[in-house]
Amino acid sequence: MKIREAGEQDLDKVLFIERKAFGEVDEANLVRDLLIDPSAQPVLSLLAWEQEQAVGHILFTSVSLDTYPEAGLAILAPLAVIPEKQNRGIGGQLIKQGLALLGDSACELVFVLGYPDYYSRFGFRPAGKLGFDAPYPIEDKNADAWMVCELKPGSLERLQGTIQCAKVLDKEEYWRE
């Protein structure tokens, strides 16, 4: 398997993976809109390939912190692998590669709203307990699904506040887990 950054020429493949993985068009439309939303920039969009077939996609977009707007932050949303290739580690490899690339940049923290048992394997920890609020309240029963991964040591101790996401993601329905 190979992982590389997705370019404009890959948009059809990216959207196909999103539709196939989620079984509907909502995630594909969200990804399309995030890719062109100036408030989501910069983005990191990665495709996983097996034998010339695009099989997985991950998207990281820029977010900011209300108390420290200059901090380098990103959010992972979404992660998608086509159904016939799921449970083979492709998603995990996309996460690891994305975090490594972001870690080589000015990005200090990466956030995700997802399954704690899965994302904790990649260094994500409950963000609310560490002083980071999501753009919209997360139900108490799902509080641990709002997670953060530290890429630059000391960032968790230095930063806290409420995340401000791209305009496209700034809708309450996206924040219900």
pLDDT at 88: 96
Q: What is the dihedral of CA 108, 40, 174, 27, to 10 degrees?
A: -110
Judged by DSSP in three states, 119 sits in helix
What confidence tier does 18 reach under pLDDT thresholds 50, 70, 90? Answer: very high
Tens digit of pLDDT for each residue in 46-74? Answer: 999 999 999 999 999 999 999 999 999 99
pLDDT of residue 94: 98
How high is the pLDDT of residue 55?
98
Summarize pLDDT for 90-107 with one digit per residue, the tens: 999 999 999 999 999 999
Q: Residue 155's CB: how many other CB atoms inside 10 A?
A: 17
- Look at residue 176 in the predicted model and tell me its pLDDT: 79
How far apart CA 14 and CA 143 sit, in angstroms, is 30
Q: Which of 92, 108, 104 is nearest to 149 (CA)?
A: 108
Written out in words, the top-level CATH class of the domain with range 2-169 is: alpha beta
Structural domain spans, the chain = 2-169
CA dihedral 37, 40, 41, 46 (to 10 degrees): -100
| Residue 157: per-residue pLDDT | 96
**What type of residue sits at position 146?**
W
Q: Each residue of 136-163: pLDDT tens digit?
A: 999 999 999 999 999 999 999 999 999 9
Q: Give the pLDDT score at 177.
A: 60
pLDDT 10s digits, 29-49 = 999 999 999 999 999 999 999
Q: Are the C-beta atoms of residues 132 and 111 closer than 8 Å to each other?
A: yes
